[in-house]
Amino acid sequence: MAVLVIGMGLIVLGLALMDLPELRRVLKRHDVECWQMLSKQKSRSWLSFKRMNLFAWTLSRGFERSENIDIQYAGLLAYKHATRVKYIILFGVSLIIIGSVVALISPQ
């Protein structure tokens, strides 16, 4: 049961760390058109926040298509952060799966 709680905690922590404020600030300053495109994208999931779109755009290395060096640099730093957050969330999901399997298998 503790493994499930730790897994949920890691997922919540990952969702809380998903924000990329520096990249958002640089995009708003240097590429308003790209920022407006990211902020207007609609998604069907309950995580349709602007930060989720920016997070996915960063993980897909969308910043590399920009011609502005400031966006590329901030994007690279944000990519490193986003990769760590992605692995935190994946580790939380793994713990939930492992905890569920152990809870089903263990005799009570």
- Kindly tell me if the per-residue pLDDT of 58 is higher than 60: yes
Summarised one tens digit per residue, pLDDT across range 71-108 is: 999 999 999 999 999 999 999 999 999 999 998 998 87
Alpha helix ranges (H) inside 1-108? 2-16, 21-30, 32-40, 50-59, 69-105
How large is the C-alpha radius of gyration of the chain? 17
Give the count of domains, the chain: 1
Residue-level pLDDT at 37: 85
- Residue 92 sits in which domain range? 2-105
Q: Name the pTM for this structure.
A: 0.84
